[in-house]
Structure formats: C-alpha cells, structure tokens
Amino acid sequence: MSTSPPPAAKPQFPALRPRKGRTKTGCVYCRLRRKKCDERKPQCSSCTRLSLICTWPDPSEFAWRKRLGEQQCSQRTAPERTIDQQASPSSPSSVASSRGSLEQSEGSSLIPSISTLPSLFPESESMSVGLLQLYVEQTTGFILSVPEDFRDPFIYDVIPLAFEDTLVRNAVYCLGGIPLPQQNQNHPLEIRRLHHYAYAVKQLKDALTEWNNGSNKGALRLLLTTTLLCQYEVLRGNQNGVLAYHLRASSFLAQHIVGTDEFAQNHALSQVLVEMYAYLELSSALHLSATPNDPQLGPQSAISSIAYLRRFTTFGTLFGSASALYEMIPDIRRLADLRQKELVQGVPLGCNATFNAIMSQLQAFDWNSALATGPSSSQEDFLRGKAAAGRLVQNAMLLFLFSAYRVHQRTLKSIAHVLVDTAIEMGDSIIGTTWRNPTFWPAVVIGSYASTNDQRARIMEYLRPSMALTSRARELLMRLWSSPDEAFGLDGLAKIIAAEKASYCFG
C-alpha cells in the first residue's frame, strides 16, 4: 500500500483583467441582475444572447432605487458595512452583493430601505417584498457558481413562479437575506423570515400529500420548494439537522424528474435542481461514519450516477470540475466500513486493493476533461477559481481516503500536513470567486487536519464569519483544535459533533 500523496501541481493562470463597471440604466432584466446593458432597442444584446424578452420600464418605475440610495446616504453615520466587513473588494461576499448592496447594520437601516420598495403588494407585505429584493440581490449569488453572463434560473425562472405560487413565494421569502450576518432572533426581518419558513413547511406538507405522481409540473414545483428549504438550512448552518428531512423529500422528487428524461433534458431549472440535489446528497456523506440522517448512496440513491447529469446543458454549476471526485464518496465510505470490520476481525477483506484502486483514480484524475465541464466563460478569475476549487476537493478526498483506510495516526498527520498546505494555496485562488461557496464543506474537512497555528489561521481567513454557516464551521473547528484529547481530522470532527449532539454543517 502506498501512502504518498500525489503531487499537487499549481495550475497556471493568466493575469486577471479589471472588472467592468455596472450601469444604472437599461432594460428590466439587466437592472435586476445589476449587469451592464448596451441599451439597444427593442432587444438589448444581453437579452438576445440569453433568449429573454427584453422589457423597458417607465422612467419613474425604478425611482425607488434612487430614493433608497439617498435615504441610506442621509442615514449613514459610519462607513458602510458589506456582507463580510473584512472581505476584499473581490471576495465572494462582494460577488454576491454586486447584485445590489444594502446596509447591514443592526437596527433601523434595513427597515426604511424596505419601505421605499414599489407597492407591488399590500402595505402589510412590504417587509416580505424586501426579502424578495434581498433574495435577488444577495442570496442568489451564493447558490450557484456561474460566470456573470449565465442565465441564472434562480432569478429568471424562480421569480415568475414565485409570483404565481404562494408555496414557492414563501420558500423564496424565507431565503431573503440569509447570507447576511446572522440577525438577532428578535430582529423584524428574522421574525418575518421564520414566519415565511413556517408557512412554506406547512404548505409543502399539504402539497406532498396531495401530489399527483403523473404531474411533471407538480414535481418541479415541489422539488424547487424542497431545494430552497435545503438551501435555507445549509446557509444557516444546519444546526438542528433539519436539512436531512428536506433532502429526503428532494430525493423522491429528483428521482421522479430524472425518470422523465425529456422533461429534465429541456428545462434548465429542473436540470439545476437535480444537480443541486446530487451535490447536497454527496456533500452530506463526506464523513467517515454513517449517521441515521445520511441520504442513501450508491444503487439506492435517487441519483445513482452523475453520468446522467453530465448530459445537462447546465451541468457543472455546482460540481464545477470536481464531479468525478464527488462520485468517489460512496466508495470511500464503503471502504471505511469494510476497513473497520477488517481491523476488528483481523481477516483480510480486500481493503488494500480497494484503497489502491481509489488512490490510482485520484492520482490519474483527468483535469483537462474536468475543467471543460460546465458553462463556458472567458473570465480568468472564474476559470482560475474553478480549477483551484477542483484541486481543493481532490485534497479533501485524499484525506478522506487515508482516514477511511485507518492509516496510522503519525503517518496520517505527516501526509495531512502537506495536503493542508497545498489546499490552502488553492484557497488563495478561490477567494474572490463564487467557487468558494461549493467548496465550503471540503474546506472544513481540510481544516480538521490543520495542525499548525499558521494553517489554522489561514483556514479561519478562508472561513470568514460572513453568515451563520461559516460562523458555525469556525466554532466546530476551534473546538476540535482545542480538544484536550488531541482529536484530529474527520474522526475528531465526528467526536466533537457527537459530544455536542449536533449535526454536520452539510447533513
């Protein structure tokens, strides 16, 4: 058995180009996305490229944005705080907030901003409309990893559905502003968000009971709702393990949609939702010992093979270049179980051959094909982040594999030191891109093996406390690093979570 980690060569990246500025004029869709519009009429170039119906508002229709900016300027008594106050201008926080930044200070600044929104709903729902604004301008930037010109179905497909369907609308509302730093439970926005979450869960329960198995539209509506609720729990840190219940419901719905091949092949939203389910299913299993909340993997999985998903035109918006790496998770989990039996019984059960086979897969990983997966882009920072994110996931899988084989603790620490260092180097290329979001759980796995103060400090920098999810991850890692019994790696993380009777951040 070879326990030498494969060399982690640094990918070569071209120099970054300066970001283009945004425009405050243009068609409805360009304004909604905060993208530059060339203002060609009747159809601007962006809408033509994305096959959208280009719509032009009356000059007064967006006056509320001007009033919003004037009001915030008049109220501001300190420098504006972004989602992540410590983030650089190109951090994931600023990527998300490029859809339109709102002040995030505790108190009255958010509420007056909401009161300036258009009167699309009764006055009693003005705060909910504010959550919708935050969903479009903030939350959607944390869901997918896509280039700037990608037609995001969580905006273009979901928003029209939300206006037609109260179930979807409540699920969208409860996600509004979730990536912001966690508000006090008594904050008006938090109360309203929980109000919509409770309504969405109740309506979902009734809808699942009444669902007609033959209705594709019904399946998509329900999968969209369960997926949005999964995102709600993930971004809040899955403190109580509720993600597992939403993921279980998503499993059956995703399986139904996959079974209607033509439907899944021709609907961008359904394609993205099925990939998101597969991503959450596999991410939730990135730990050594199975728990009752884990989704079914392998043949019993709703998504038995990612090969099916690779036919989708949208594939790669979550997995990026690492889909084949995530596919190894079920095999590594089975190796962990079998190796435990092998050590207890003292009888060879074929673990050495399995270990070497998986190691060969990881060492011979085809990066050229992997990097060609997903939406194309000419943005150097996006492509650089995509490549680095794949390398970071590869290192997390290597640590997962060595731990599953129960390599001696001293040997594991020596191997881990190198893998953590190279993963941290990859992290430097990921920060500032949307690829930081889908690498969150692999980064926590890598952090659990950090052994020096420098490594730990850099992991903390990568996991800046910009929202509840990262704050909770930091707490788990700090407890692990300060544990009196020198708990280490995935085994140590499992002990910390078990002692607290908590749940993994991802399932």
Asked whether 464 and 457 are in contact (CB, 8 A), the reply is: no
Give the separation between CA 291 and CA 504, rounded to whole angstroms: 10
Asked whether 418 and 399 are in contact (CB, 8 A), the reply is: no
Lowest mean pLDDT among 227-236, 292-301, 390-399: 292-301
Give the separation between CA 197 and CA 72, rounded to whole angstroms: 29
Looking at residue 336, its pLDDT comes to: 94
Looking at residue 391, its pLDDT comes to: 93
Give the separation between CA 369 and CA 357, rounded to whole angstroms: 20
> What DSSP assignment string belongs to 31-54?
HHHT------SSS-HHHHHHT---
Give the separation between CA 36 and CA 395, rounded to whole angstroms: 38
Mean pLDDT throughout 354-378?
88
Write out the two tokens for 50: 């994305």
Looking at residue 46, its pLDDT comes to: 80
The dihedrals phi and psi of 302, each to the nearest 5 degrees, come to -65, -30
Asked if residue 500 has pLDDT above 80, the reply is yes
Q: Work out the mean pLDDT of the chain and round it to a whole number.
A: 77
**% residues pLDDT > 90 (the chain):** 35
Residues ≥6 apart with Cβ < 8 Å to 151: 50, 51, 52, 268
Give the separation between CA 170 and CA 196, rounded to whole angstroms: 5
Give the separation between CA 317 and CA 327, rounded to whole angstroms: 16
Mean pLDDT throughout 57-84?
39
Higher pLDDT, 131 or 397: 397
Looking at residue 451, its pLDDT comes to: 93
Asked whether 492 and 259 are in contact (CB, 8 A), the reply is: no
* 385: amino acid identity, one letter: G
Give the separation between CA 164 and CA 380, rounded to whole angstroms: 38
Mean pLDDT throughout 375-391?
88
Mean pLDDT throughout 431-443?
88
Looking at residue 92, its pLDDT comes to: 32
Lowest mean pLDDT among 104-118, 179-193, 451-465: 104-118
Give the separation between CA 343 and CA 11, rounded to whole angstroms: 39
Residues in the chain: 507
Cα 305 to the center of its chain, rounded Å: 21
* Residue for token pair 């969208």: 172
Mean pLDDT throughout 286-299?
65
Looking at residue 66, its pLDDT comes to: 42
Give the separation between CA 297 and CA 319, rounded to whole angstroms: 17
Asked whether 184 and 472 are in contact (CB, 8 A), the reply is: no
Higher pLDDT, 420 or 7: 420
Mean pLDDT throughout 293-306?
57
Asked if residue 120 has pLDDT above 50, the reply is no
Higher pLDDT, 481 or 186: 481
Looking at residue 14, its pLDDT comes to: 35
Lowest mean pLDDT among 37-51, 305-319, 481-495: 37-51
Give the separation between CA 402 and CA 336, rounded to whole angstroms: 10
Helix (H) or strand (E) holding 377: none
pTM of the model: 0.76
Lowest mean pLDDT among 6-10, 179-183, 203-207, 466-470: 6-10
Lowest mean pLDDT among 106-110, 338-342, 370-374, 462-466: 106-110
Asked if residue 69 has pLDDT above 80, the reply is no
Lowest mean pLDDT among 80-84, 113-117, 381-385, 498-502: 80-84
Asked if residue 95 has pLDDT above 50, the reply is no
> What DSSP assignment string belongs to 324-360?
HHHTTHHHHHHHHHHHHHHHHHTS--SHHHHHHHHHH
